[in-house]
Amino acid sequence: MPELPPLPTISQLVFTGFALFTCASALGVVLARNLFHGALALVATLFGVAGLYVMLEAEFLAVSQVLVYVGAIATLITFAIMLTRSMMYGKTSPLNRQWGKTGLFAVMIFLALYGFVGSIPWADSAPAVLADESMIAALGVEFVTNYVVAFEVMGLLLLVALVGAVMLARDNN
């Protein structure tokens, strides 16, 4: 009798559940015929990714993901969709004239990523990294020492975007 593979542990099952949920809602984003449903599916996808981070014991990353993507970006996208009335109620086709070319590119990128991921010798047993508070503190220190330029440029970019938005929305009088 051939030896059976070991039973999956509970955390593996939960991880698989989250991964399937993420994939299903990601498919929903591109296949939904109503743009608002697409946006809601995007929110679900982002939550699914946050769940994956939690399973990988990166709570800080998970919570930041929800804070930035769901709290800010998804709300912004929803607003943009809602303010374009024709797109909001109408049914749009998930395909447009360029679906052939984009599909080709998507397949090529998938193959490249697949080959890339497959060629990396992943360490299957590494010491666990504890994502406790000292790690968050270390992250903060890195932001204002080693990566201070990138950090400041990012802040400047956001400021420019803010000023630009105010200029666009301002009354001409």
Partner 1 sequence: MQGSTWSDGIVGLLTGLGLPDMLALGIAYGIGAFILVNFGMVSALLLIWITRKAISRMQDRLGPNRLGPYGLFQTVADAAKLISKEIITPSQSDFLAYNAAPILSVFGVLILLAVVPFAPGLVGMDLNVGVLFVVALGSIGVMAALMAGWGSNNKYALLAGFRVVAQLLSYEIPMVLSILTVVLVTGTMSFGRITEFQSLTIGGFNLGIGWLGIMMPAAMLIFFISSLAEAELTPFDLLEAESELIAGFHIEYSGMKFAMFFLAQFVNAWVLSALMAVLFLGGWQGPGVGLPVIGPILGLGYFFIKSYAIYVLQQWVRGTFPRIRIDQMMYFAWKVLVPASVALIVVQAIVQKLPVPDPVIYAFIFLANIGVIWVVVTALQRYIKSATMGTKRSFEPAGLIGTMQKADTYAMY
Residue 3 is given by DSSP the state P
Q: 70 with 45: CB under 8 angstroms?
A: no
If one asks whether residue 35 binds partner 1 (CB under 8 A), the answer comes out as no
CB contact set of 29 (below 8 Å; sequence gap of 6+): 38, 41, 42, 45
When asked if residue 31 is in the footprint of partner 1 (CB under 8 A), the reply is no
Interactions with partner 1, residue window 79-108 (CB under 8 A): 79, 82, 88
Q: Does 66 bind partner 1 (CB under 8 A)?
A: yes
**63 lies in the binding site for partner 1 (CB under 8 A):** yes
Give the span between the Cα atoms of 103 and 122, in whole angstroms: 29
Interactions with partner 1, residue window 114-143 (CB under 8 A) = 132-133, 136
- Strand, helix or coil for residue 127: coil
Residues that bind partner 1 (CB under 8 A): 9-11, 34, 36-37, 40, 43, 59-60, 63-64, 66-67, 70-72, 74-75, 78-79, 82, 88, 132-133, 136
